[in-house]
Amino acid sequence: MALWRGSAYAGFLALAVGCVLLLEPQLPGSALRSLWSSLQLAPAPAGPGSPEGRLAAAWDALIVRPARRWRRVAVGVNACVDVVLSGVKLLEALGLSPGNGKDHTILHSKNDLEEAFIHFMGKGVAAERFFSDKEAFHDIAQIASELPGAQHYVGGNAALIGQKFAANSDLKVFPAVTSLGLNEQELLFLSQAASGPHSSLSSWNGVPDVGMVSDILFWILKEHGRSKSRASDLTRIHFHTLVYHILATVDGHWANQLAAVAAGARVAGTQACATETIDASRVSLRAPREFMTSHSEAGSRIVIDPSRPVAEWHREGVSFHFTPVLVCKDPVRTVGLGDAISAEGLFYSEVRPHY
């Protein structure tokens, strides 16, 4: 019915514009454009039947708490205060005007900050860079903190993850690293530093290729993860980028992965939009609908169905769970989002004890 209704509306629009052209052939082009834009139909709002709505409903059905609850979690010690504000307004307050973007491994001045900001803003990705000039950094931080509309939050990976777990469990710390949370830059830096898969890439070109990401995750767990011949305890990596997440785990050590990866992706949408639940009208599905699971070997092709949003594949003792992210169209708060994602995914994960 909706298909026929849409076709009828389209036919009516074509007929209306044709009549105008027939009766007024000399009508200015600007007037025709104005008429056409006023007649165009607005896109139907996303609802329960939309891909976003179906995916959110499928997540809700998948996300269940693990059978074994967390009792001990080790979180590194670091904390800071995050200042959240418009980057453009900060550049204006610093007396800088938009120029050419350029990446800097280390920032030495406010001009370096401006170039790095424009470079990464153009790519639509987050970035962290060390600022070498202590006094210049202090001045920039002071100006940022005092700008109208600036918001202050508890920051730092440990503080944010600790807050998330403390709200849900009675916890005590232990000296073992079993899990990592990584974004696309951190993952590529790791591979570049140790000459891993796809390390010749200087940066990702848009959305990170799922097969390449899968190859690097597999390499980390196989070459640097837990094994009988290695002292490492690493058995889990939660990779997150803007439009999708992958949870990679060594078989036999973790359970409830479907719920965990879905929970991490769900919180990305709710926290960015500042909503308690996913509002399908405020998010969009931008993840690749199909992809190859590897480029280092003969991988398989996977097609994503919003009604079954978690895809699973296996490779030599490592399991992969993939899910799209419902990206907030008009984000309210993105600072600390990666830490919230890692904490939420870990909270819904279940560790299988090995004695």
Hunting for tokens 């307050």 — which residue is that?
93
Q: Which two tokens stand for residue 161?
A: 């993850």
Q: What are phi and psi of 307, to 5 degrees?
A: -80, -15
Residue 74 CA to residue 146 CA, distance in Å, equals 35
Q: Identify whether 330 is a catalytic site residue.
A: no
User: In DSSP terms, which residues pair with 247 in a beta bridge?
Assistant: 238, 321
Q: How many CB atoms lie within 10 A of CB 191?
A: 21
Dist CA 200 CA 192 (whole Å): 7
Rounded CA separation 94/88 (Å): 10
Q: What is the dihedral of CA 92, 96, 100, 106, to 10 degrees?
A: -100
Q: At what angle do helices 257-273 and 51-62 cross, to 10 degrees?
A: 130
Helix axes 184-193, 210-224, angle to 10 degrees: 50
Give the β-pairing of 179-182 and 236-240: parallel
Interatomic CA distance for residues 74 and 9, integer angstroms: 59
Residues 71 and 173: their CA atoms lie apart, in Å, by 9
| Backbone φ, ψ for residue 8 (5° rounding) | -65, -40
Q: Are 184 and 213 in contact (CB under 8 A)?
A: yes
CB 306 within 8 A of CB 55: yes
One of 112, 215, 279, 339 is an active-site residue; which one?
A: 339
The residue behind tokens 């058995």 is: 235
Catalogue the active-site residues: 339
